[in-house]
């Protein structure tokens, strides 16, 4: 249409900085100012390098930053790391082989480490024993003999061993003097070094908790996850089975299952048998917690999106649902591991768990059942100390990990 006339738009007003002197009079319309300059979010917010690192950090980085604020959990984590690192080289750390006997020093008390002898610096050493038999109570009495000075040797050759039962060796971190003894935590009724037996026993007592919790978590997450994801008849049957298992008293069941293991089994088979028993008795609580959480999370939109995209049950549960309550799983693991360590210790203490020649903290404590023995030889109760320390460390470490993994904390 050639006769139509279209008015050209007026040119945009020039942008002026807004100041009190340039404000329009009252009642006048306000001009709309739009800046055409590119927007830089970092420049606008003036982020410091520390803030930028925090905002752009990954999830693991954020968890580590939050975990470091929990000082007690950090110390507990270092302590547990040292304990678990020590079980890898326990043969090297122990002064003696855990089966080595010295019949001349039966139930000898702990020796103290000294540095100076008669005012002269000697280095780390221990005094030998002066022994006498008390004929009134037939108790062996040991006193330090200042004439026997036994320097401690380091990185030395001593008792032979098989590293992890495979490679022969005889190198130790610390050894007694050539003609001396080194019993820093005393000896037991057979003259075996308590410190060496504690170091060897840590390998069994600490790993039995990890293997047991692996079995417990595998059953709990698998059964509870499927029950919560599918529901229906499978959920009903699972809940009834969990209620039956939880209604059984744990300690008598532990004792019964441990007692039926054949006496002809090797120590390794007994070890794995105790581990399986502990794992089979502790999965129900985790399964119920996983089931209740998945019942609520399966209705979320991201679960429906994953299903529409063709994700299978294992991927939906493992990749999308379980990470949603990771903090609860961490807390459960750090509670379950000490429980299994205590379970193995209790069974071995009662003589129904691990049996010699294998050694654990519970096996060592088995010798301290008699109160008269404890009163006369209190150092036989020393295995209680690492058990208590490890359990406390796991609890503090779990608190720190739970807080760090909680996205809402």
And the tokens for 156?
């030395």
Is residue 408 over pLDDT 60?
no
Environment class of residue 1 by beta-carbon count within 10 Å: exposed (0-12), middle (13-18) or buried (19+)? exposed
Extract the runs of DSSP E, i.e. beta strands, from 47-110: none
Measured from the Cβ of residue 38, the count of other Cβ atoms closer than 10 Å reads 6
Interval 270-300: pLDDT, tens: 888 888 888 888 888 888 888 888 888 887 8
Is residue 9 over pLDDT 70?
no
Interval 48-103: pLDDT, tens: 666 666 666 676 777 788 888 889 999 999 999 999 999 999 999 999 999 999 98
Out of 178-192, 249-263, 305-319, give the one with best mean pLDDT. 178-192
Is residue 182 over pLDDT 90?
yes
Calculate the average pLDDT of the chain: 82
pLDDT of residue 50: 64
Q: What is the mean pLDDT of residues 40-44?
A: 54
Q: What is the mean pLDDT of residues 162-182?
A: 90
Buried b (16+ CB within 10 A) or exposed e, 209-232: bebbbebbbebbbebbbbbbbeee
Is residue 309 over pLDDT 90?
no
Is residue 113 over pLDDT 90?
yes
Residues 6+ apart with CB under 8 A from 344: 204, 205, 208, 209, 274, 278, 353, 354, 360, 362
pLDDT of residue 407: 52
Is residue 179 over pLDDT 80?
yes
Contact 362, 349 (CB under 8 A): yes
Share of the chain above pLDDT 70, in %: 85
Radius of gyration of the chain (CA): 34
pLDDT of residue 200: 94
Buried b (16+ CB within 10 A) or exposed e, 360-380: bbbbbbbbbeeeeeeeebebb
Interval 325-349: pLDDT, tens: 777 787 778 888 888 888 888 778 7
């Amino acid at each position: 249409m050639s006769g139509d006339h279209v008015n050209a738009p007026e040119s945009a007003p020039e942008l002026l900085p807004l100041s009190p002197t340039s404000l329009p009079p009252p009642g006048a319309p306000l001009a709309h100012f739009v800046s055409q300059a590119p927007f830089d979010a970092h420049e606008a917010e003036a982020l410091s390098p520390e803030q930028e690192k925090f905002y752009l950090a990954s999830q693991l980085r954020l968890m580590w930053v939050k975990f470091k604020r929990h000082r007690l959990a950090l110390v507990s984590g270092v302590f547990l790391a040292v304990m678990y690192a020590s079980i890898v080289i326990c043969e090297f750390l122990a002064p003696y082989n855990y089966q080595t006997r010295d019949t001349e020093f039966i139930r000898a008390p702990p020796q103290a480490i000294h540095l100076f002898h008669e005012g002269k610096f000697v280095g780390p050493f221990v005094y030998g024993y002066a022994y006498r038999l008390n004929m009134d109570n037939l108790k062996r009495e040991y006193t330090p003999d200042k004439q026997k000075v036994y320097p401690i040797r380091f990185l030395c050759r001593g008792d032979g061993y098989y590293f992890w039962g495979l490679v022969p060796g005889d190198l130790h971190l610390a050894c007694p003097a050539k003609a001396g003894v080194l019993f820093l935590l005393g000896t037991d009724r057979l003259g075996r070094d308590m410190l060496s037996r504690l170091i060897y026993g840590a390998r069994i007592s600490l790993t039995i908790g990890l293997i047991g919790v692996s079995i417990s978590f595998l059953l709990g997450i698998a059964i509870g996850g499927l029950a919560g994801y599918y529901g229906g008849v499978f959920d009903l049957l699972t809940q009834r089975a969990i209620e039956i298992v939880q209604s059984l008293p744990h300690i008598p069941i532990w004792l019964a299952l441990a007692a039926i293991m054949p006496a002809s089994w090797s120590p390794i088979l007994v070890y794995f048998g105790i581990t399986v028993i502990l794992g089979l008795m502790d999965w129900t609580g985790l399964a119920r917690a996983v089931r209740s959480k998945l019942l609520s999370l399966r209705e979320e939109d991201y679960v429906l999106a994953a299903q529409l995209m063709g994700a299978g049950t294992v991927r939906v549960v493992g990749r999308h649902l379980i990470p949603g309550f990771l903090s609860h799983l961490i807390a459960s693991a750090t509670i379950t591991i000490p429980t299994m360590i205590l379970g193995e210790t209790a069974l071995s203490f009662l003589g129904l768990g691990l049996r010699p020649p294998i050694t654990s903290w519970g096996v060592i404590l088995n010798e301290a059942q008699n109160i008269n023995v404890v009163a006369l030889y209190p150092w036989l109760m020393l295995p209680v100390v690492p058990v208590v320390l490890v359990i406390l460390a796991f609890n503090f470490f779990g608190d720190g990990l739970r807080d760090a993994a909680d996205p809402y904390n």
